[in-house]
Amino acid sequence: MSARARRPGTGNSQTLNECVQVVVRCRPMSNKERSEGYDEVISVYPKRGVIEISNQTDTQKEQRKVFTYDAVYDPGASQTTVYNEVVFPLVSSVLEGYNGCIFAYGQTGTGKTFTMEGIRGNDELVGIIPRSFEQIWLHINRTENFQFLVDVSYLEIYMEELRDLLKPNSKNLEVRESSSGVYVPNLHSVTCKSVEDMMNVMKVGNKNRTVGFTNMNEHSSRSHSIFMIKIEMCDIETNTIKVGKLNLIDLAGSERQSKTGASAERLKEASKINLALSSLGNVISALAENSPHVPYRDSKLTRLLQDSLGGNSKTIMIANVGPSAYNYNETLTTLRYASRAKAIQNQPIKNEDPQDAKLKEYQEEIERLKRLIGSKQHVKVEKPVKIKVVKKPKERREKQHREMAESIQTVGAINDNSLDADAAAAGAGGKEEEESDKENEVEEEVAKTNEQLESERLETAKLAAKLKELESQMVRGGKNLLDTYSERQIELEKKLVEIAERKKREIEMQQKLELQEETTLEIRETVTSLEQEVELKKRKLSKCYAKFLALQQELNDCKFEHNQDLRELEMAQNELVKELKRQLLIIDNFVPVEVKQRLYTQAKYDEEQEEWKFSALPVGNDGTYNTKRPVSHPQRRRPISEYALLEAKSNTSEAGLRFKSENIVSYELEMPCRTTQEYKTPKISASLQAVLAQAMQTGDDIDIVENHTNSIRSRLESIINASANAAAAAAAANAGGSNMNGHATTANGGGGVATANGGVGSRIKSSRIASGIPPSAMDSNRRPPTGRPATTAKKPVSAYPKARGLVTK
Ligand SMILES: Nc1ncnc2c1ncn2[C@@H]1O[C@H](COP(=O)(O)OP(=O)(O)OP(=O)(O)O)[C@@H](O)[C@H]1O
């Protein structure tokens, strides 16, 4: 969304545009930097709001770079000063119903967490977040005739994932946008009723935060954390509601991977951190340059900061830097970003009478509950009257019975006529039965009514408890004033704020004065002679040249930085590509092709959430999702599983078989590959056997020469080839004459299989020839019988045996 395309407010009153307030804080030299002998390259001028940075290693003359900000703080500035001068006014605005945002930006180890959270348990060193709690509750306790509802949430962005720090198990948090701004649905919020409540929430969240050790910081924040405070305020007299939202952000530090000793997981973390921070830098640049497109969607961080940068919030950027020469480049980058951020304009909005205020909801609910309880109490008063009406006949009946019995007794005494008395008693008994039925009915009715009454009483008690709970969530302002702060403290605080305001104005005036001085000097310079004019122009020229050099230097710095960023991005990209290849390798080798195909078709990219998602339903042939289980053809038999068929055949468990006609696919268990083998005796090739047999017969020793590089197998094959060739040569020689042994001799060109009557024999013969043994000494009976015809080899017989690694002894 463009910064200029503002959202319409919902009952909000708009104020004038306001720039992002940029403050630079320089931390002291660390012990490590001091011990390693690094120089300080930063000079801070708090009264002028100026920071100078000088490059000690720069050989060029233009070494100093000057930056101006809304306020600058040197290493000696206390946490209290920073809070009172910078944050106090912003939190006051939030308490008037504005959106406020404070974010700490800077290289790792420069004091972002120190500034935002500070050192726990040390009143002097506590940071912005706990101090803001104090301010908020002091205000609430001081404000009479107001009702407050304070909700807090705590989240972090780790590796581009939103995590709820108050409910670490909840996943998939997203950033959404509505007419009233960006928000995170399903983010857990806790209603707080005191500073202690808020401190507890912070402690719980911090425990769940991702921190790690790097070369630059022992407790480095590896994530961007956002502490959100929402204060709803209702004026009891006018019944108007205001909502103030305060976002307190501690960003993860930008870092050079080479310096932090990042490796593996840290490298991945660092690349994500740097990516988010560079997208924040891009957003700042785009807003500063009034670009029509602001890339808020490039990261989760920039999406969440959308309202704070170029939106409807009052924003303070605290740029943290270190003074050491070791971090010169990083400090310069931070100062440049901070300088650019000064140009960002916001349009703060007072959130008055919002539709989605929880306080409003609570008030309505409380009213409803009160009405409900009131009506129930009304009913309760009426019911006993009803019961009395019911009870009356019973009493009357009892009275009648008594009177009747008395009169019977009197009559009996006078007339002594028991029969009459019995008859009278019987008559009375009949009536009594009738009446007792009625009595039972009435009693039942009474019991029912009592039950109803009891359940209503319980319900009313429940409603009253709910009402009490709702009322307890809201805090009535103007209480405990004396408990928390004395009048003098309040006065002191007011004075502090006044001083801060004055200081701010002083800085502004000083900066204006310096600018004016520069221009008036130029105007005042009048020339009286030509020489003076030349001198003046020379001075102007050298000034311009110095500016040109400074700009050129800046350009070079930017190029250098850009190249460095590029290199780091390439490193990160290489890491990601490596990881991708690993995953693809796993998919290609372990996921069946059809499953892989299905997964690819099921994976869909969600443009809104910018991530890949799986649709759980399988995709049908027509590309639509199958919402029903596929059914079999109506006229065909259903396929039956192998197990069911077996069971049906065996006919033993007919009654017990439940799924016999179901198509249950039986999957074999996937067994791991075998890594051992059965022992098999080594195969000795026929040729080797023949050579050995021949050696046994002739008594020749065959030595295998060790330093020969060929394997035994290949050597033997060569021998076989050689002997085949020799046999072929002998056959050719015998072609016109007689066969020495009376057998036809063939040769096997393949060199491994003996020929009929002559294969191995010929080879042996050739061996003999080569070794000087006469062929006549050979016994044809010992030749192994074979049936394969031999082919004629043309190669000449190579020298035997030395060249083959076989030598006669
Ligand atoms: N103004 C300061 N005065 C004294 N000590 C400071 C100051 N700023 C930072 N420090 C110290 O410097 C160290 C690093 O600070 P801190 O952890 O706040 O850095 P950071 O910027 O949050 O780092 P990261 O981005 O890695 O989380 C801490 O030991 C902290 O106490």
274 C-alpha to ligand 1 centroid (Å): 19
- CB 407 within 8 Å of CB 380: no
Does the annotation list 543 as a binding residue? no
Domain locations in the chain as residue ranges: 18-346, 493-611
- CB 72 within 8 Å of CB 86: no
- Taking the CA atoms of 269, 274, 280 and 283 in sequence, report the sign of the dihedral they define: negative
Q: From its phi and psi, is residue 562 left (phi > 0), alpha (psi between -120 and 50) or beta?
A: alpha
d(CA 175, CA 179): 14
pLDDT of residue 763: 41
Which atom of ligand 1 lies at the shortest distance from residue 252's CA?
25
Q: Which fold has domain 18-346?
A: Kinesin (3.40.850)
pLDDT of residue 412: 45
**Res 145 pLDDT > 70:** yes
Nearest CA residue ID for atom 14, ligand 1: 109
Cβ atoms within 10 A of the Cβ of 101, count? 26
Residue with tokens 């008690």: 461
Nearest CA residue ID for atom 2, ligand 1: 27
Tokens of 697: 């017969």
Tokens of 115: 């500034």
Beta pairing, strands 176-178 & 611-614:
unpaired
112 C-alpha to ligand 1 centroid (Å): 6
230 C-alpha to ligand 1 centroid (Å): 28
Q: Is 254 in the pocket of ligand 1 (CB under 6 A)?
A: no
Return all residues near 565 (Cβ < 8 A) that are at least 6 apart. Answer: 274, 278
Which atom of ligand 1 lies at the shortest distance from residue 116's CA?
18
d(CA 50, CA 513): 13
Mutate to test the pocket of ligand 1, among 215, 217, 301 (most ligand atoms within 8 A of CB): 217
Does the annotation list 112 as a binding residue? yes
Beta bridge partners of 240: 235
Q: Of the candidates 317, 226, 331, 214, which has an alpha carbon nearest to the alpha carbon of residue 267?
A: 214
Burial zone of 60 (CB within 10 Å; 0-12 exposed, 13-18 middle, 19+ buried): exposed
What is the complex's ipTM, to 2 decimals?
0.98
CA angle 313/314/317 to nearest 5° reads 115
What are the distances in angstroms from CA 208 to CA 219, 370, 394, 525? 14, 40, 70, 64
Helix (H, G, I), strand (E, B) or coil at 95: coil
Answer whether the bond into residue 775 is a cis peptide, omega within 30°: no
Q: Of the candidates 472, 473, 365, which has an alpha carbon nearest to the alpha carbon of residue 149?
A: 473
200 C-alpha to ligand 1 centroid (Å): 22
Q: Is 110 in the pocket of ligand 1 (CB under 6 A)?
A: yes
Q: Is 494 in the pocket of ligand 1 (CB under 6 A)?
A: no
Which atom of ligand 1 lies at the shortest distance from residue 222's CA?
27
Give the least confident one: 33-42, 62-71, 135-144, 423-432: 423-432
Max mean pLDDT range (244-248, 251-255, 569-573)? 244-248
Q: Of the candidates 734, 743, 749, which has an alpha carbon nearest to the alpha carbon of residue 761?
A: 743
Q: Is 253 in the pocket of ligand 1 (CB under 6 A)?
A: yes
Model confidence pLDDT, tens digit, residues 51-94: 999 876 655 545 678 899 999 999 999 999 999 889 998 998 99
Percent of the chain with pLDDT over 90: 14
pLDDT of residue 227: 94
Q: What's the pTM?
A: 0.61
Nearest CA residue ID for atom 1, ligand 1: 27
Mean pLDDT of the chain: 73
113 C-alpha to ligand 1 centroid (Å): 6
Return all residues near 346 (Cβ < 8 A) that are at least 6 apart. Answer: 17, 18, 19, 20, 308, 309, 310, 311, 312, 313, 314, 315
**Res 171 pLDDT > 80:** no
53 C-alpha to ligand 1 centroid (Å): 20
Nearest CA residue ID for atom 15, ligand 1: 111
Q: Is 109 in the pocket of ligand 1 (CB under 6 A)?
A: yes
Q: What pLDDT band is residue 787 in, cutting at 50, 70 and 90?
A: very low
HEC sequence for 137-184: HHHHHHCCCEEEEEEEEEEEEECCEEEECCCCCCCCECCEEECCEEEC
Beta bridge partners of 317: 22, 103
pLDDT of residue 280: 87
Residue with tokens 């009278």: 424
Q: Is 320 in the pocket of ligand 1 (CB under 6 A)?
A: yes
Question: Which residue intervals of 683-711 are DSSP H helices?
Answer: 686-698
Q: Is 112 in the pocket of ligand 1 (CB under 6 A)?
A: yes
DSSP string, 342-361: TT-EE--EEEBS-TT-HHHH
**Res 784 pLDDT > 60:** no
